[in-house]
A and B are shown apart, each in its own frame.
Chain A
Amino acid sequence: NAGVTQTPKFQVLKTGQSMTLQCAQDMNHEYMSWYRQDPGMGLRLIHYSVGAGITDQGEVPNGYNVSRSTTEDFPLRLLSAAPSQTSVYFCASSYSAGRSYEQYFGPGTRLTVT
């Protein structure tokens, strides 16, 4: 299994540009989520999904959109990039419901908005 994969690894955007961060998992996990990590901080939840077709907002959803058309993929869209969105973005997945399953994280996408 490849686990959780994220592309790209690095990205530089200009203010106002849009882009999509890709996330895929091959473990048939129902639950997927996106976090951002700012320097010296813990991770904060942006959006999450408990299954295909179901998404919901996390702690810091403004400026981001998500969709979940398949179990495997959970892309994160930046609609109009702002310098405040400079961060490292992590995607995670896990089984869900009824047990305390561990989450698997991708390697991250480092985004700089100038």
Chain B
Amino acid sequence: DAKTTQPNSMESNEEEPVHLPCNHSTISGTDYIHWYRQLPSQGPEYVIHGLTSNVNNRMASLAIAEDRKSSTLILHRATLRDAAVYYCILRDVNSGGSNYKLTFGKGTLLTVNP
């Protein structure tokens, strides 16, 4: 599996934008970039995913570099509820079986200050 690199932790203030970076220099052409987050004492929760173009949904935006070697998850206005561990994960969806799995690293612990 192609690997991702994320900062261990980041801090933000409530109602300010947050940019969570992820490096994936060995990404292949068929790897989708997924973001999940895990709130304290809960299971992971899907946030957003993309392949080449920037993506927006109700939770966040995903900005993908032109060479696809990095991406940034953008939370437009952080709230206290956004405090979580954020995982950046690559998935090759052209293969079946074990490639449905999500390979979790340690992620980025986001702290949101009131």
Contact = CB atoms under 8 A, between A and B. Distances in A.
A107 B34 CA distance: 20
Interface in A58-110: 58-59, 90, 92, 94, 96-100, 102-108
Interface residues of B, number: 25
B100 A107 contact: no
Nearest to A95: B100
Given A90-B43, A90-B44, A98-B93, A103 B102 contact: yes
Contacts of A107: 42-43
B45 to A, nearest CB: 7
B68 interface: no
A48 B106 contact: no
Interface in B81-114: 87, 91, 93, 96-98, 100-107
Interface residues of A, number: 30
B91 A100 contact: yes
Contacts of B105: 42
Contact of B101 (A58, A99, A100): A58
Given A42-B107, A90-B43, A100-B32, A50 B93 contact: no
B43 A108 contact: yes
A12 interface: no
Interface in B32-58: 32, 34, 36, 41-46, 49, 51
Interface of B: 32, 34, 36, 41-46, 49, 51, 87, 91, 93, 96-98, 100-107
